[in-house]
Amino acid sequence: MDKFFREINKYVITLILVAFGLMFLNKFLSGDELESQPEAMLWASVALIVVGLLAMPVVLERLNRLVYVGLGVVGSVAALYLAWAVFYSVDEEIQFQETKKEVQAVTIQRLKDIRDAQEAFYDVHGHYAAEFDSLAAFVYEPVLPVKYSMGSFHDTLPEATSLEEGYVLRRSEVGAVAKRLGVEEATLLDDIVNDLSPYKVRDTLYTSFWAENFAPEKRAEKRLPRVSLDSLWYNPLTGVKFFIATDSVEVGGLVQSTVLVKDMTPFGRDKVKKDTLQFGSLTEAHTDGNWRN
């Protein structure tokens, strides 16, 4: 039994090196198109297997001292190179992931902004914009209704009575009423706001999507980056324009407009499947995005 264990001990180093080599080789070969492993892992696994085989007593007995020293030098150099290659591949992967995160964050925000504009376009026109030029023109058009309300009704002068007696004004009528009362328009507005006047303002004004959503002060309030329509429709890294298409589907007997916008040049490595960011669908009536946040 002792002799058996002594014989086994001679092959411990070989068994360990070959086992680790096979483990790394299996890990490399198991990498798919979504999770590829660096080539350094392949060469490291091959080197471990080769060194393990060379460490077998039956092999060492056949090597003279010169060959043994030569293999040691070659092995040392190879080990140093592979260590550097693995470190480089890890460092490169960290930088790659950081760049990917930054590019995708900007891309996702642009797609979100385009989606918001498309949804506003749909609310006004009943369908989505089929081209970015049409959407860009819409962004500046004063077509979004905004309820304008100043002053509050109360029990002594309820809304119905105020309407009957002409105390409910449009915003454009305030100046004429102020002139008739012999006061400044700003003074009358202040009195209406503070409920010191029987007059109230109820009106619908129209503003643009830009003023309500893309203006610098609005973006600052929402803690979002500024919007430039010159670059909104493009991938931030490649400068390639996003794909846009519209169609319609029947849902519950009603025909509904559909839209699809996606990044045609997603960030990633060559020959590796990339995350194509997009929102909407041409076959389903929704504007959901496929990003995680």
Amino acid 158: pLDDT: 87
Lowest-confidence region among 3-7, 225-229, 242-246: 3-7
How many domains does the chain contain in total? Answer: 2
Q: Is residue 240 part of a domain?
A: no
Is residue 257 in a domain? no
Distance in angstroms (rounded) separating the CA atoms of residues 72 and 218: 68
Which of 44-48, 194-198, 266-270 is predicted least confidently?
44-48
Structure tokens at 38: 């660096």
Residues 83 and 146 in one domain: no
Residues 13 and 92 in one domain: yes
Domain around 66? 2-97
Assess if residue 22 is contained within a domain.
yes
Provide the pLDDT confidence category of residue 138 given band limits of 50, 70 and 90. very high
The residues, any chain, with a CB within 8 Å of residue 276's CB and separated by 6 or more, are 262, 263, 266, 290
Instruction: Name the pTM for this structure.
Output: 0.63
Q: Is 45 part of a structural domain of the chain?
A: yes
How far is Cα 181 from Cα 154, in angstroms, rounded to an integer? 22
